[in-house]
Amino acid sequence: MYSLPSPFSWLLARTLGNFHPHITTRPLLDSFNSTPHTTPHTTHGPLRIPQLTLCDPPDPLKTHLDPQTARIPQPPPLHPITHPPPPDTQQPPTSPAMGLLSVPRWATRALSTAASPLPTTKLAPPSPLYQLIPSTVGAPSLSSSASDDSESTYATTDPDDLDPDHRSTGPSRQRGAPFARLDPLVVTAALLATGMFIVMFIWYPFPTTIHAFVAVAVGVVSWTMGSWARSLAGVVLRKPNLYRYSVPQLTGLAVASILTIYWLILGIHPPQEVAPPLNLDGERYFIAANLYNNEDIIPRWTGQIEKLIDHLGPNRTFVSVYESNSKDSTPELLRDFGDRLDAMGVPHRIISDVTERWWPYPTSPERIGFLANARNKAMAPLQSADSDTRLPDYDSYTKVLFLNDVLFTWEAAVRLLATKHDDDPDYDLACGMDFGASGLYDTWVSRDVCGTPTRPFWPYVKDPATVQRVRDEKVFPLAACWNGMVAFPTKHYLYQPGKPGKPAPAPAEPTRLAKRGWKMVDNSTYEGGRMSPALSEPILFRASGIDACDHSECFLFSYDLHRLYPQGSGGPKIWMNPSVRTAYEEHWYRWNNYVLRIPMVQWWVRNWSHGLPFEAVDWLWERLARHRDLCTWAALEKHAPERCPRLPGAKKNPWYIG
């Protein structure tokens, strides 16, 4: 009977045994380890069938594996079978070793499981380049049963694992182990995004979607950059792995790459602050400030003042600071500041004082009167009737820059001085925007053009026409403001010879701590209304002097401008400049002047944060919050646009007490 040559029989037996679990090829394989077989004589004589033996396996990671292609290794080439000589010269073999064929056991193992189904996951999809092959650690031998083969462990054919100098010495990864298929790059990006969200929310606990957007952006950008870096490294090192991604993953990488490129084009750093051109011809600037327990910000505050003076010119500026009752090192720091101003040749007046500070509650008339007096002392070199206090050339100063204890930059101060409403460079009062943990800080002072209190969140005002200017980031009008830093011309605030230089006394009111309640102010036609003190120039800071209608001295500063302008004149030009952002705390200053100025963040804010989220907040504010003053300040209404609703009377206020 004619039989196949042994190499082909051996391969056929192994193939049948692997592709059909019910075919047992062990007897056929065992027959190859028995005595040699013979075949019918050919024209050259009988052909001796070589014996098939198994040798000890070499290390499969060190031999016969091609790291360039990572294919399943093939057995070594078969020794050629030499045809016997003609019958008249044929001799029997003289050595048992002649005609033997050695096949390594590791090759038979690889062939035995080459067609085994391989596990796949979403994070590690199948590919022609990186397949899973049985681990050689604990792999079954030829004599193992089929059930043993099915329980073999699996390892990946990563080229680094195939490199004997870099392969891991630890146990192979078990199939089905938790997170065994997670991409480390995805895990790293997710951890970075989560960490960024937590850090931002802890540092900036503000109700906004910006935290989530920045976190997602960090995760997307880090994963995208890492994926391309890994692929590039694979190409350079001739270990490409880009084909490992499935079609959905490649689609995600393409979308993430487009977003990353777009964000990078927009910018991931805030633009540098710039100071606009300022016409200095004939201009002189009076810089005034009140400070109290501000040792933490004074070094930075004074540094920005010095840079502003360098820009404006030492011969064009005067610095007046009034500080009182500080318990920290503020007085000493201000003395050092005065020494530096002397060295710069800048005239100045810096006063540290000790006075009585007492009031029953933060909005009480006692506190408002104290703060009004402190601000008037800072303005005294321009307004005082005392010639020793008043500057000899007081009337040569054209603009006042008045600052609270806020963080700011000298460029922002220049932008405030150069404020324009469209093409109108004139203003009676130009205000910046001050921010705190809740958003816009001084909403007790600021009022929109209709006289409605502003809100702490964007867009800050209710009037639709003003909202559009806020959306366009343009200078917008208000009825009253202060908000950390203001600029105003000196014409209404300079000393007037023959004038008292102090607020006129208010009409007599009951000297009791009355509960705050509604009253009509400065409307003589309203029965039971109250009138403000008589107005005269120079305009000074003052308290309201009206029982139960106590208000901020800074609000009354704007309110007196409305009283100064007659009805029909158009009213005072009070503008708020959204490019001037100050804050009372360092991290909120960074939030508003760095984070919110990043172009990528501004893109998100314009396209989402200023949309549906704020519409929901606006809806809640209109139904739950107070959006009218406790008292009606009638002077605001006479200059309000016709589109504005009427200020409320007593019947519209449930807190009316008669």
Lookup: tokens for 10 = 């051996």
Contact present, 520 and 487 (Cβ < 8 Å) = no
Residue with more model confidence, 74 or 636: 636
pLDDT band at residue 612, thresholds of 50, 70 and 90?
A: low
Q: Residue 558 domain-assigned? A: yes
257 and 295 share one domain: no
317 and 410 share one domain: yes
pLDDT band at residue 127, thresholds of 50, 70 and 90?
A: very low
The residue with tokens 């009355």 is 514
Contact present, 113 and 136 (Cβ < 8 Å) = no
Q: Residue 167 domain-assigned? A: no
Nearest to 260 by CA among 216, 196, 326, 201: 216
Mean pLDDT on 186-197 = 95
Q: Residue 393 domain-assigned? A: yes
Q: What is the mean pLDDT of the chain?
A: 76
Lookup: tokens for 628 = 């009218």
74 and 221 share one domain: no
Lowest mean pLDDT segment, chosen from 65-79, 118-132, 302-316: 118-132
The residue with tokens 């490199």 is 163
Question: In the prediction, which pLDDT does 135 show?
Answer: 42
Phi, psi dihedral angles at 392 (to 5 degrees):
-60, -35
Q: Residue 634 domain-assigned? A: yes
Whether pTM > 0.75 for this model: the answer is no
351 and 236 share one domain: no
Question: In the prediction, which pLDDT does 361 show?
Answer: 67
Over the stretch 526-570, which tens digit does the pLDDT of each residue have?
777 888 888 888 999 998 877 768 789 999 999 999 999 988 888
Q: Which of the listed residues 219, 238, 266 is the one where a domain comes to its end?
A: 266
The single-letter DSSP state of residue 269 is S
Mean pLDDT on 502-506 = 55
Over the stretch 212-227, which tens digit does the pLDDT of each residue have?
999 999 999 999 999 8
**Which residues are paired to 341 by β-bridges?**
none
Over the stretch 559-603, which tens digit does the pLDDT of each residue have?
999 999 988 888 999 999 999 999 999 999 999 999 999 999 999
Q: Residue 152 domain-assigned? A: no
Question: Residue 45: helix, strand or coil by DSSP?
Answer: strand
Over the stretch 154-185, which tens digit does the pLDDT of each residue have?
444 444 444 545 444 444 444 445 445 778 88
536 and 618 share one domain: yes
Lookup: tokens for 384 = 């005082």
Mean pLDDT on 98-111 = 50
pLDDT band at residue 112, thresholds of 50, 70 and 90?
A: low
How many of the other CB atoms lie within 10 Å of CB of 300? 14
474 and 525 share one domain: yes
Question: In the prediction, which pLDDT does 9 show?
Answer: 52
Question: In the prediction, which pLDDT does 58 show?
Answer: 53
pLDDT band at residue 245, thresholds of 50, 70 and 90?
A: confident
Q: Which contacts qualify for 242-248: CB closer than 8 Å, 24 or more apart?
A: 243/127, 243/128, 243/129, 244/124, 244/125, 244/127, 244/129, 244/130, 245/125, 246/122, 246/125
Nearest to 192 by CA among 216, 228, 213, 212: 216
Query: Count of domains in the chain?
Result: 3
Lookup: tokens for 137 = 């650690």
Per-residue pLDDT for 654 more than 80? no
Alpha carbons within 13 angstroms on the beta-carbon side of residue 361 total: 9
Per-residue pLDDT for 521 more than 50? yes
Q: CA 587: distance to chain centroid?
A: 13
Over the stretch 418-463, which tens digit does the pLDDT of each residue have?
999 998 999 999 999 999 988 899 898 999 999 888 988 888 998 9
Alpha-carbon distance 66 to 74, whole Å? Answer: 10
257 and 353 share one domain: no
The residue with tokens 């790293």 is 188
298 and 256 share one domain: no
219 and 306 share one domain: no
Q: Residue 482 domain-assigned? A: yes
Per-residue pLDDT for 136 more than 90? no
Question: In the prediction, which pLDDT does 244 show?
Answer: 66
Rounded percentage of the chain residues whose pLDDT exceeds 70: 64
Question: In the prediction, which pLDDT does 81 show?
Answer: 52
Alpha carbons within 13 angstroms on the beta-carbon side of residue 585 total: 12
Residue 61: which domain range? 1-87+94-121
Widest Cα–Cα separation across the chain:
149
Question: In the prediction, which pLDDT does 505 show?
Answer: 54
Alpha-carbon distance 141 to 211, whole Å? Answer: 58
Lowest mean pLDDT segment, chosen from 123-127, 618-622, 638-642: 123-127
Q: Which of the listed residues 266, 300, 325 is the one where a domain comes to its end?
A: 266
Q: What are the distances in angstroms from CA 91 to CA 5, 86, 87, 95?
A: 21, 10, 9, 12
Mean pLDDT on 293-298 = 95
Q: Residue 158 domain-assigned? A: no
Question: In the prediction, which pLDDT does 249 show?
Answer: 82
Residue with more model confidence, 298 or 248: 298
DSSP structure string for 129-176: SS-EEE-STT---TTS-HHHHHT--EEE--HHHHSTTT---SPPPPTT
- The sign one gets for the Cα dihedral 370, 375, 379, 383 is negative
Lowest mean pLDDT segment, chosen from 213-217, 351-355, 466-470, 605-609: 605-609
- Which CATH number characterizes residue 345's domain? 3.90.550
Q: Residue 356 domain-assigned? A: yes
253 and 314 share one domain: no
Over the stretch 364-382, which tens digit does the pLDDT of each residue have?
778 888 999 999 999 999 9
423 and 338 share one domain: yes
DSSP structure string for 558-580: HHHHHHHSPTTS----EEEEEEE
Q: Which of the listed residues 266, 294, 313 is the one where a domain comes to its end?
A: 266
Mean pLDDT on 400-416 = 97
Lowest mean pLDDT segment, chosen from 160-164, 209-213, 614-618: 160-164
Alpha-carbon distance 286 to 403, whole Å? Answer: 11
345 and 463 share one domain: yes
Angle between helices 247-266 and 210-236 (to 10 degrees): 110
**Burial environment of residue 136 by CB neighbours within 10 A (0 to 12, 13 to 18, 19 or more):** middle
